[in-house]
Structure 1
Amino acid sequence: MADSLRDQLLKSGIVKQVREEQRPKPPQPSRGARPPQGKAKPHASPARRDSSEMDLASAYAIRAQAEASERKRAEQEAAELARIKRERKAKIQKLLEGQVLNKADADHVRHFEYGGKIRRVHVDADQLAALNEGRLGVVQQNGRYLLVGQAIAEQVRAIDPHQLALLVDPQTATDDDGVPDDLMW
């Protein structure tokens, strides 16, 4: 007759025969021990494991530790970026002190695209001509658009190019693109 499945597995070497001595024996209750009360079943001792086998709790602990370290690294990176941004903003603020050319009695409006939207700055006729020629620039600071000279606008561009809202390139300002520079919107 054919060998049993157990015998076939033992012959092929897939399964090793476990000796009686190697099997863990269930713990014997001591004489003074009370039986557990309630409906809970007594806990069996955990099965013996190889050192290379990882249990579920340790895998979760390793995963939680990795996620915590990743969160901490991301928070540190965000804090560093915020610090750099604050330093740049302070440098630009210091650079702009006394250099702003905005006038309260400006009668023209110069529209420009910044941040995907159409923005505007109020200028007089001379400032409008200088702005269109590239001798003046517009810097965005604290939600306002400030008119500054070309040198200051270039310094702002060097510190943080995102804060420079408008600086017309003199080479492209002389090109005839079909749209007059003094066009009012």
Structure 2
Amino acid sequence: MADSLRDQLLKSGIVKEVQQNRVQQDRAREQKRPPSPSSGKPARKGGKPPVPSHAARPSGQSREEIDLAKAYAIRAQTEANERKRIEQEAAEQARLRRERKLQIQQLLDGKALNKAEADQPRNFEYGGKIRRVHVDAAQLAALNAGELGVVQQAGRYLLVSREIAEQVQAIDAHLVALLVDPNASGMGDDGVPDDLMW
């Protein structure tokens, strides 16, 4: 009786039968159960895809919670990208405005024809309001004939030659406050332009 119980069961053949029965039962269970994604076996035709267990998800989250978290992350990323694009566009617009302003400032430097002793006001509409620039008699006639123009810069209205006004208009049209078209028939019966008749 020196043989252990295990050795005696192996000699009698009982253990082999039990082991074979277990192997057959395991195989039968595996065939009934869909394969797990980690097994590497292809899914059965017409079968549902395997559902991952809760143990595979972090902290027991459901599939809906994970999908919602992904949706929020995608939305946050999209909003961040949109904000960045808007900021870049705003910076580019600001850069272009600075360049135009500098270009106009260089163009107008020393070219203003305003006179300190000018005493005649010339009214005009600009920005939805009535504005005025003071001119002398010769400048008034030249302004009404379209030989001179008025350009707004830094809150002031500068009297300039028609050529300068047209150059400013090419850079930034809304800064030209007054430029009479000499070919237009906007003169009243008394020789005063129609825009002065109010």
- Whether TM-score is above 0.5 comes out as yes
Pairing partner for 2:60 from 28, 45, 52 = 45
* Equivalent in the alignment of 1:154: 166
- Show the counterpart of 1:115: 127
Q: Cα–Cα, structure 1 residues 81 and 24, in superposed 2: closer, same or farther, change >3 Å?
A: closer
Q: Is the 8 A contact 1:133 1:170 kept in 2?
A: yes
CA distance in 1, matches of 2:197, 2:186: 19
Cα shift at 1:22: 6.7
The residue aligned with 2:112 is 100
Taking the aligned partners of 1:153 and 1:88, their CA distance within structure 2 comes to 14
Letter of the structure 2 residue corresponding to residue 165 of structure 1: A
Aligned runs of 1:1-185 on 2, under 5 Å?
24=53, 45-47=60-62, 49=63, 55-172=67-184, 174-178=185-189, 180-181=191-192
Would you say how many aligned residue pairs link Structure 1 and Structure 2?
149
Listed as ranges, the gaps of 5+ residues in structure 2 are 1-46
Q: In 1, distance between residues paired with 2:130 and 2:51?
A: 81
Answer yes or no: is the 8 Å Cα contact 1:109–1:184 preserved in 2: no
Q: Confirm or deny: 8 A CA contact 1:137 1:168 kept in the other structure.
A: yes
Runs of 4+ in 1 over 3 A off after TM superposition: 21-26, 174-180, 182-185
| Amino acid paired to 2:60 | S
Task: Provide the C-alpha distance between the structure 2 equivalents of 1:157 and 1:25, rounded to a whole number of angstroms.
Answer: 69
Q: 1:56–1:154: structure 2 CA closer, same or farther, 3 Å change rule?
A: same
Instruction: Show the counterpart of 2:18.
Output: none
> Bigger radius of gyration, 1 or 2?
2
The structure carrying a bigger helix percent of its residues is: 2
Q: Secondary structure at the match of 1:158?
A: helix
TM-superposed CA distance for 1:45, in Å, is: 2.3
Counterpart of 1:34 in structure 2 is none
The answer to whether the Cα contact below 8 Å between 2:114 and 2:135 also exists between their aligned partners in 1 is yes
User: Structure 2-normalised TM-score?
Assistant: 0.65
Partner Cα separation in structure 1 for residue 52 and residue 86 of structure 2 = 49
Residue type at the aligned position of 2:83: R
Cα RMSD over matched residues? 3.2
Contact 2:118 2:136 in 1 (8 A): yes
C-alpha separation between the residues in 1 aligned to 2:69 and 2:129? 53
Q: Is the contact made by 1:138 and 1:167 (CA closer than 8 Å) also made in structure 2? A: yes
8 Å CA contact retained: 2:150, 2:178: yes
- One-letter amino acid of the counterpart of residue 151, structure 1: E
Q: Cα gap change, 1:58/1:107 in structure 2, threshold over 3 Å: closer, same or farther?
A: same
The answer (yes or no) to whether the contact 1:110–1:184 under 8 Å persists in 2 is: no
Counterpart amino acid of residue 61 in structure 2: P
